[in-house]
Amino acid sequence: MRILNEESNVKAPYDFAVENVVATVTIKIPERINLPALAKEYIDSEYNPERFPGLIMRIENPKATILIFSTGRMVITGMRRAEEAEPVVDKVIKRMKKAKINVSDPQIIIQNIVASGHLHKNIDLNKAAVLFESAMYEPEVFPGLIYRMREPRTVFLIFSTGRIVCTGVRTKELAEAAVIKLAKEIEEFGVIMDESEKETGEFNEEEDLEFI
């Protein structure tokens, strides 16, 4: 999704899209959830306590992966919009009740939003590591610069190609505000490279989102 300037309808100098929304859920239960029984009820669920203490459930619409623990706590990942959390939880609660598991009063909290984007500028990461406060760049370990923005509190992975990954915020609006601020900062700090100075910094979205 390319963000537009609403007043002038001119394309902004960056792209921005939410890749993953992480939420936690707590539910009221009279006793611990029988995870083996729940796993047997649904073929899209996996429970292997020797490898992981929770049950892993996957649903397709909205697409999400839910980690369910016997204590009544759940973690949801894989959503693209925070608004999808409630229908995901509704589906899980219905499945539990169908499996004769007594649960109620789900409390949902959005914990993290991961977004990726492109600043459409080549960036001198060595220079940025010096000028940006709370930045770390070790190219022999990881090809991107890690920048911890203080306000809004956000963590960025920045690549020399202009690709970015943003994480650590709880709303899409804060993620967007952080990307806008970053775009301004790279201009103000003068860390943009000419095409002739371009570095090779490959961006593998799946690997880099997994890194954070």
Q: How many domains does the chain have?
A: 2
pTM tops 0.85, yes or no: no
Distance CA 58, CA 204 (A): 25
Per-residue pLDDT of the chain (212 residues; tens, 9 = 90+): 344 333 333 346 788 899 999 999 999 999 999 999 999 999 999 999 999 999 999 999 999 999 999 999 999 999 999 999 999 999 999 999 999 999 999 999 999 999 999 999 999 999 999 999 999 999 999 999 999 999 999 999 999 999 999 999 999 999 999 999 999 999 999 999 976 555 544 445 455 555 55
Q: What is the pLDDT of residues 139-163, one digit of tens each?
A: 999 999 999 999 999 999 999 999 9
CB neighbour list of residue 23: distance below 8 Å, 6 or more residues apart: 75, 76, 79, 82, 85, 108, 109, 110, 111
* Claim to verify: residue 84 and residue 134 sit in the same structural domain: no
Domain that holds residue 86: 21-111
* Claim to verify: residue 74 and residue 34 sit in the same structural domain: yes
* Claim to verify: residue 31 and residue 102 sit in the same structural domain: yes
* Claim to verify: residue 89 and residue 49 sit in the same structural domain: yes
Residue 40 CB-half CA count within 13 A: 6
Distance CA 205, CA 209 (A): 6
CATH number for the domain spanning 138: value is 3.30.310.10
| Secondary structure (3-state) at 203 | coil
Boundary-marking domain end, from 111, 132, 152? 111
Amino acid at 136: M
Boundary-marking domain end, from 81, 111, 141? 111
Report yes or no on 11 lying in a domain. no
* Claim to verify: residue 182 and residue 138 sit in the same structural domain: yes
Report yes or no on 8 lying in a domain. no
* Claim to verify: residue 34 and residue 76 sit in the same structural domain: yes
